[in-house]
Amino acid sequence: MTNAQSSNRPDSSMLAEKPLSGVTVVELGHSVAAPYAGLILADLGARVVKVENPGLGDYARGWGPPFWNGIATAFHALNRGKEGVSVDFRDEAEVGALKDFILAEADAVIQNLRPGILDRFGLTAEALRDRKPGLIWCDIGAFGATGPLAAKPGYDPLAQASTGIMSVTGEGGRPPVRVGVSLIDMGSGMWSVIGLLAGLIARRETGEGRVVSTSLYETGLAWMTVPLAGYAASGEVRKPFGSGTAEIVPYQAFETSDGWLMIAAGNDNLFRKLCEALNLPSLATDPDFATNAARVVNRGRLIPRIAAATVGFSVEALGQRLDEAGVPNAPLLDIAQVAGHPQTQALDMVVKSSSDGIELVGMPLSFDGKRPRARSGAPALGQHNGVLEE
């Protein structure tokens, strides 16, 4: 390595806090999936340039209330740390400037627009990689690139419904329930980032980029890995167990005198400790409950007996008792309790953006004890249009 090459490399402290420093990503996305991918990359130190329509911009700007400085907090949460440009796709000159920027500056493009939209403007993986072979192009689709649903538009709850997630969520005999966060969208963004990072590593050896594809439907199927394996093995169609799970008992929330406590007795030894803590030692030696397989079969008889014991304690008292016994447990907290919890504060996960003061959750990753974090706020619509004119 020459001295010039060495001097251009980021120092180790920068790599610790911003391991993707020097990488430029263009985000042609809206809503959650592509913006969440861009958020991860921005926190990791990449330069992320978000492209929006000059009219309303990303739909998520209006997803409120609540709003912060006139923009939905959802948009702030998903788009901090990015540069923002607006491009009128009806204007050939603006589209040309975007293409030129991608060809000159971008290492990767992430997009989650409806199939066919970008084709009209020559903004496709094939067209751009033909001129820039090292470009990594990441598609986040709805139902996948092939198959009978390939052209169908999709959102997170549609994927939760169609991949079976909602069928194992909630309680039997009650209306369907979706997972309360955008599990599919955010998971698809994460898979896109994993593929993009793998592409960057491979490009070091070959000089070639690649097309990375994922979708909401594929992500939903991946979350259903264990239930689908269970069905393949037994033919059993899993049902929802509320806070519990099909494969482990007891592994659910139990009511106490003043709230709910999640108890996770994930093996036979933990079940024995739980029984001792609840003054129910005979349950641990009962052949109907002594093994997890037996407890799963006899769930309907076991759970009421445990529940009858837990209501005699407060959340705090039972939690302390189980902690002392070595049984994993946690109280069910609401959002305000989570935000103010000492553990949340100790991890420094929630930080104010430097530009607008809104408190936003950071990345659940640390490198050498330092959490990567883009400190600037979400961009105003078209705030950085000048970068396309340089």
Nearest Cα to Cα of residue 224 among 288, 301, 286, 162:
162
88 classed as catalytic:
no
Cβ neighbours for 78, distance < 8 A, ≥ 6 positions apart: 32, 35, 36, 39, 60, 378
Cβ neighbours for 196, distance < 8 A, ≥ 6 positions apart: 25, 37, 41, 108, 110, 136, 138, 212
Report the distance separating Cα 162 and Cα 158, nearest Å: 6
Burial (CB < 10 A; 0-12, 13-18, 19+), residue 53, is: middle
Catalytic residue, candidates 185, 286, 334, 348:
185
Sign of CA dihedral 265, 270, 272, 278: negative
Cβ neighbours for 343, distance < 8 A, ≥ 6 positions apart: none
Q: Which two tokens mark 73?
A: 């907090």
Is the preceding peptide bond at 372 cis, omega within 30 degrees of 0? no
**What DSSP string runs through 256-299?**
-SSSEEEEE--SHHHHHHHHHHTT-HHHHH-TTTSSHHHHHHTH
Distances (CA, A) of 97 to 103, 105, 297: 10, 12, 64
Is the preceding peptide bond at 35 cis, omega within 30 degrees of 0? no
| Backbone φ, ψ for residue 101 (5° rounding) | -65, -45
Nearest Cα to Cα of residue 293 among 282, 280, 281, 302:
302
Instruction: Report the catalytic residues.
Output: 185
